[in-house]
Structure 1
Amino acid sequence: MLRRALNFRQAIDDFVAKTRDLRQYELSDADWAGIELVMQWLKSFRSATTQMSTTKWPMLSSAHAIFRGLQESLQEDLAELPDSAPVKLRSALTSAHRKLSDYYFKVDESPFYVWASSMLPFIASRFG
């Protein structure tokens, strides 16, 4: 839906400008830039979700890498966020980053990760 709005930005702006009742909802350039930014974040989460759901054999290491990549993407987005960005937006991104950090460390602390690592020589000798 956001992609469609961006594709038809000019038509939307023209329609809102011509319709008196809608003028209060007119979007500024900053609003449109915010929509583009949100669309980029949603793409990152969609990509991570797609990677997680299309894996035939889910592995802890791949989930770990996906969480870390998404977390790094959010960190970069937060650093590039303009000072004029609404506090709620900055807070939501920070919360998402923190939540991913929680998952990242839960995976890292998991005894299964250590167990799986110790089983590699056995699995390699049996199936390799």
Structure 2
Amino acid sequence: MKKFLAIFLLIIGNQVFSQKKVETTIHVDGVCDMCKKRIERALDVPGIIFAEWDKKTHKLQVVYRPKKISEDRIHQLLNEAGHDTEKSKAPDDRYEALAECCRYRDENNPHKKGH
């Protein structure tokens, strides 16, 4: 019985650790450090292993488990946080709820200049 249990645990443990991971880069609009925190926090969900957004390049590096979360869902979470991605646009009400310094669609935003 102990051998059976040990083999069972070994097989289950191996399957958990061998789950496929996907790494991708997504363009996400944003302006400032507040945006960075919001974007990364939006992806603090099961299935996301790593998410880091670069303010200068607007590139979000994401590592995730496709069995737990889809790339479309990742875009949706970012849109719900108020940020446009290369595939989809945030709803206007979510965008308008952002702080003034985070308004990346506003060409007159002084925080946007220099990007």
Fold-level similarity (TM above 0.5): no
Q: Which has more helix, going by share of residues?
A: 1
Q: Which has more strand, going by share of residues?
A: 2
Structure number with greater CO (CA < 8 Å, separation at least 6) is 2
Report the TM-score when normalising by structure 1.
0.32
